[in-house]
Chain A
Amino acid sequence: MALTRRIIPCLDLKNGRVVKGTHFEDLRDAGDPVELAARYNEQGADEVVFLDITASKEARKTIIDLISRAADQLFLPLTVGGGIRTNDDITAILRAGADKVSINTAAVQNPAIISEGAAAFGTQCIVLAMDVRRNFQEAEGTNPIRLPDGSTCWYEVVTHGGSRPTGIDAIRWAKEGEERGAGEILLTSMETDGTKEGFDIPITEAIASATSIPVIASGGVGTLGHFYDGFVYGKADACLAASVFHFGEYTIKDVKEYLAAKGVPVRL
Chain B
Amino acid sequence: MSSSGQSVVLLGPQRQPILEEVVQSLDLDGPFATITAGWQEREPDDDELDALLDGQSVNLNLYARWHDVLDRDPEYAVADRHQREVLDELQELYLLRLDYALDAVVMLQQRRGSADLRAAAVAEAVEAVRELDAAHLLRIGEVNGEFYERWPPHDRPVIAQHRAAVGRLLEGVTALVVAGGHVGVLVASMHLFNVAAALDAPVIAWSAGAMALAEQVVLFHDRAVQGPGNPEVYGHGLSLLHGVVPLPHAAARLLLGDVGRMAVFAQRFAPARCVLLDAGSRVDVDLDGDVPVGTRVLDLGGAVSVVSES
Do the two chains bind? no
Binding site for A on B (CB under 8 A): none
Binding site for B on A (CB under 8 A): none
